[in-house]
Amino acid sequence: MNDSTLSDLPSMDPGWVWLCGAGPGDPGLLTLHALNALRQADVIIYDALVDERILDWARPEAERIYAGKRGGKPSAVQRDISLRLVELARAGKRVLRLKGGDPFVFGRGGEEAQTLVQHDVPIRIIPGITAGIGGLAYAGVPVTHRDVNQSVTFVTGHDQSGQTPSALDWAAIAKGSQVIVVYMGMKHIARIAAQLIAGGRTPDDPVAVVTTATMQTQSVLETTLARAADDIAAAHLSPPAVICIGRAVLMRQALDWQSMLHGAPPRNTDPLDRGRPAESA
Ligand code: SAH
């Protein structure tokens, strides 16, 4: 890529904050707008899940501020981050707020943007690839597949208090959501699975647990709703992970393209037909 690739993209003015998604991990999943922002920013405030290699695309003289918070720390921390952004913008910096995945998907991007606007700081929003879609794609799981689902439900596994979200009607989700993608679900997976089963979901429903999706360390555990919690514990998996529940997970049997990168031959099976060879066209 030469510089002209970026030259038509917007320039970042002093005093602005660009709130930007960095994607789920693999630097190649960054958008051109994000790269363009990295090339201009004076200050970059980034989260725990943003890969070092992405930060290396920043200007060498740019200040980098780590604002990592993992696993439901007090919201005062969030308030501090937002006010820090206001301060930097008022000091005339070009501020890049870089967040994992997409800033508006379980990323508190809306809160930060709102604080900035309330303080008269102008903003630009740059969406990113969210872990619940891009991360599953790297596991060979299409988040929608015509023969499986016409809807997807994204849920968070814990609320602000750190508990399973009590505002969610798990029985309704169990019945009405063909495919469920859980963010931040590792801690409460046993409860979530139990509530879904109690709500009428089949215990055999296929589940994929994708940890550090799109990164070198990505791992994929295939299990079922009833076994998920035990299998996660037995495999000693830890966050970050996206958990996909539903028959879309079966597609991985045919679409696990990462294994092909490591030399596995393509598998001509029809996963929705429980692994029988597909009829040739
Ligand atoms: N805004 C982010 C989500 C932030 S919430 C996005 O759009 O992706 C943090 C949760 O996102 C993690 O607990 C995990 O569930 C998920 N997540 C983010 N990056 C991930 C990754 N590389 N692999 C697996 N899960 C990830």
Q: What are the pLDDT digits (tens) for 17-33?
A: 999 999 999 999 999 99
Residues 171-176: contacts with CB under 8 Å, at least 24 apart: 171/195, 171/198, 171/199, 171/200, 172/199, 173/199, 174/198, 174/199, 174/200, 174/201, 175/199, 175/200, 175/201, 176/151
Q: Where are the domains of the chain?
A: 12-129, 132-261
Q: Which fold has domain 12-129?
A: Cobalt-precorrin-4 Transmethylase; domain 1 (3.40.1010)
Residue 266: asked if its preceding bond is cis (omega within 30°), the reply is: no
- DSSP, collapsed to helix, strand or coil, labels residue 181 as strand
How are the residues of the chain apportioned to helix, strand and coil, as percentages rounded to the nearest 5? Answer: 35, 20, 45
- Is 99 among the catalytic positions? no
Q: Cα separation of 132 and 256, whole Å?
A: 16
**How does pLDDT run across 131-164, given as a tens digit for each residue?**
999 999 999 999 999 999 999 999 999 877 778 8
- Is 184 among the catalytic positions? yes
- Which pLDDT does position 277 carry in this prediction? 54
Q: Do the two domains 12-129 and 132-261 of this chain adopt the same fold?
A: no
Span from the CA of 278 to the centroid of ligand 1 (angstroms):
34
> Most confidently modeled of 45-49, 74-78, 217-221, 274-278?
217-221
Q: Exposed, middle or buried, 132 (CB in 10 Å: 0-12/13-18/19+)?
A: buried
Q: Cα separation of 69 and 169, whole Å?
A: 28
- Please provide the average confidence, as pLDDT, over all residues in the chain: 92
From 69, 159, 187, 231, the catalytic residue? 69
Q: Tell me, using a 6 A CB cutoff, whether residue 210 lines ligand 1.
A: yes
Q: Which atom of ligand 1 is nearest to the CA of 210?
A: 24
Q: Cα separation of 49 and 128, whole Å?
A: 13
CATH code of the domain made up of 132-261 = 3.30.950.10
Q: Cα separation of 226 and 173, whole Å?
A: 16
- Single-letter residue type at 274: R
Q: Tell me, using a 6 A CB cutoff, whether residue 135 lines ligand 1.
A: yes
Residue 274 has pLDDT above 60, yes or no: no
Interval 226-249 mean pLDDT: 98
Q: Tell me, using a 6 A CB cutoff, whether residue 24 lines ligand 1.
A: yes
Q: Tell me, using a 6 A CB cutoff, whether residue 105 lines ligand 1.
A: yes
Q: Tell me, using a 6 A CB cutoff, whether residue 239 lines ligand 1.
A: yes
**How does pLDDT run across 33-90, given as a tens digit for each residue?**
999 999 999 999 999 889 999 999 999 999 999 997 655 555 558 888 999 999 999 9
Minimum mean pLDDT among 162-176, 177-191, 192-206, 209-223: which range? 162-176
Positive or negative: CA dihedral 106, 102, 71, 132: positive
Tell me the pTM: 0.93
Residue 276 has pLDDT above 60, yes or no: no
- Is 47 among the catalytic positions? yes
